[in-house]
Amino acid sequence: MASYDVVDLIRSKRDGGVLADEEIRWLIDAYTRGDVGDEQMSALAMAIFFRGLDARELPTWTRAMIDTGERLDFSGLSRPTADKHSTGGVGDKITLPLAPLVAACGVAVPQLSGRGLGHTGGTLDKLEAIPGWRAMLSNEEMLAQLEDVGAVICGAGSGLAPADKKLYALRDVTGTVEAIPLIASSIMSKKIAEGTGALVLDVKTGAGAFMKTLDASRELARTMVGLGAAAGVTTVALVTDMSAPLGRSAGNAVEVAESVEVLAGGGPADVVELTLALASEMLAAAAVDADPAAALASGRAMDVWRRMIAAQGGDPDAPLPGARHTETVRAEADGWIASMDAMAVGLAAWRLGAGRARKEDPVQAAAGVTWAASVGERVRAGDVLFTLHTDTPERIERARAALEGAVTISPEPASRGPVVLERID
Ligand code: URA
């Protein structure tokens, strides 16, 4: 591979230039090997933040990141594969009921997930609340479970897109996370390397999301759908509302409990609605004609859940951990809940111990926030609005502070709008 002067490339991007394919391939490879320094890559990431990557640069950048690592191959499985990726929200436990539901309909779901950082929780942290459950599987274990059970939710090994691991950690500490081309290439490089045949993206929008405005969320969704299509992966995105948290729980064990309710045919309406909408998209993208609502109602999705948890060492019948301390926040007025600030709820759950500030921090399985009523529902002064769960009571005061003003109660009836706002393919 030819070699370039990285300072020339940084200057070129800084001044609005377009990088050539060869330059991009060299740069990503040299950065992953350590020949381009973190300080140089941070300068370039900042230049990209301001200047972007054009329609030719972005697929090349994504491809170069994929090529730094291994690619999984599911082509030997007896059924098609589909995966879902969410850009992250508060109370977003959808992966938990969704993966077994789609598997129950005949599509294999290789769901590589992450841990939480900041106010949005991580799927692996939630599932680790189940006694015995193991997040890390070898590629062989993952393939065997996909064939036997049809669904796997596990951590990504270090072999997928190592360039992204390095670059994401760098962006996190240099103020360059919020750049659409960098977010899109980061997410899509991992998803394409994972080898799924079809991909459905849940791009969140609103106060509790990464992208606060519908325009920005739409642009991110379009960019990722374009990258998926360019790589030959059938990709569809739903832009979904994250102004209010999903369901009635944010945390770890509390979200597992709510997911099990959904699999048992109950659960909050918004969680059921989004689970079914994403399942329908995954089945359509995998070209399988099946009715996810019927699979949920018949208990077939619950059967797959139980087998999926047991296959990874978990006991689906074991009681989930409960918090040593709970406290409540009560409504101050009569009326209808007009809004509930997802960011505030996520922050409270995080402060109670459900999330981590640094990658190495442990999380509390039982920590989180639950709420008895959501947007559009009626409450009376003195009703319990939130229950705070934690093992460490000294965390409660700061969680309460996060929830101050998080709910507006209106004297007029209010309603929650649709969860799915737009579909982009
Ligand atoms: N999630 C990712 O994997 N990458 C980003 O850049 C942002 C969110």
Residue 78 within a domain: no
Q: Is the CB of 58 under 6 A from ligand 1?
A: no
Residue 188 phi/psi, 5-degree rounding, is -70, -30
Does the pLDDT of residue 359 top 70, yes or no?
yes
Reported as a pLDDT band with limits 50, 70 and 90, residue 286 is very high
Q: What six digits make up the tokens of 334?
A: 């009569």
Q: Look at residue 58 in the predicted model and tell me its pLDDT.
A: 98
pTM of the model: 0.95
Q: Are 98 and 82 in contact (CB under 8 A)?
A: no
In tens, the pLDDT along 198-215 reads 999 999 999 989 899 999
Same domain, 307 and 366: no
Q: Look at residue 377 in the predicted model and tell me its pLDDT.
A: 97
Same domain, 125 and 26: no
- How many residues make up the chain in this entry? 425
Does the pLDDT of residue 330 top 70, yes or no?
yes
Residue 73 within a domain: no
Structural domain total, the chain:
3
Amino acid at 259: S
Same domain, 240 and 293: yes
E-strand ranges in 242-320 read 249-251
Last residue of a domain, one of 281, 311, 341: 311
Same domain, 98 and 139: yes
Same domain, 263 and 157: yes
Q: Is the CB of 379 under 6 A from ligand 1?
A: no
Over residues 271-291, the mean pLDDT reads 98
Dist. CA 407–CA 384, nearest whole Å: 12
- Tell me the best of 168, 211, 220, 223 to mutate to test the pocket of ligand 1, counting ligand atoms within 8 Å of each CB and taking the most: 168
Dist. CA 179–CA 181, nearest whole Å: 6
Radius of gyration of the chain (CA): 22
Residue 100 phi/psi, 5-degree rounding, is -65, -30
- The rounded Å distance from CA 323 to ligand 1 centre is 31
In tens, the pLDDT along 100-158 reads 999 999 999 999 988 876 677 789 999 999 999 999 999 999 999 999 999 999 998 77
Q: Is the CB of 168 under 6 A from ligand 1?
A: yes
Residue 62 phi/psi, 5-degree rounding, is -65, -45
Last residue of a domain, one of 254, 287, 311: 311
Concatenating the DSSP letter of every residue in 62-110 gives: HHHHHTTS-----TTSSS-BEEEEE---TT--THHHHHHHHHHTT-BEE
Q: Look at residue 117 in the predicted model and tell me its pLDDT.
A: 65
Domain interval for residue 240: 83-311
Same domain, 139 and 284: yes
Q: Are 37 and 15 in contact (CB under 8 A)?
A: no
Ligand 1, atom 2: closest residue by C-alpha:
187
Same domain, 98 and 13: no
Same domain, 298 and 332: no
Same domain, 217 and 343: no
| Residues recognised as catalytic | 85, 164, 171, 186, 190
Same domain, 152 and 182: yes
Q: Which numbered atom of ligand 1 lies nearest the CA of 183?
A: 6
For the domain that residue 269 is a member of, what is the CATH number?
A: 3.40.1030.10
Please list the alpha-helical segments (H only) found in 1-78. 6-14, 21-33, 38-51, 57-66
E-strand ranges in 130-196 read 151-155
- Tell me the best of 48, 166, 171, 183 to mutate to test the pocket of ligand 1, counting ligand atoms within 8 Å of each CB and taking the most: 183
Q: Is the CB of 291 under 6 A from ligand 1?
A: no
Over residues 238-257, the mean pLDDT reads 97
- Percent of the chain having pLDDT more than 70? 99
Same domain, 269 and 299: yes
Ligand 1, atom 3: closest residue by C-alpha:
187
Q: Look at residue 133 in the predicted model and tell me its pLDDT.
A: 98
For the domain that residue 45 is a member of, what is the CATH number?
A: 1.20.970.10
Same domain, 153 and 29: no
Residue 97 within a domain: yes
Residue 77 within a domain: no
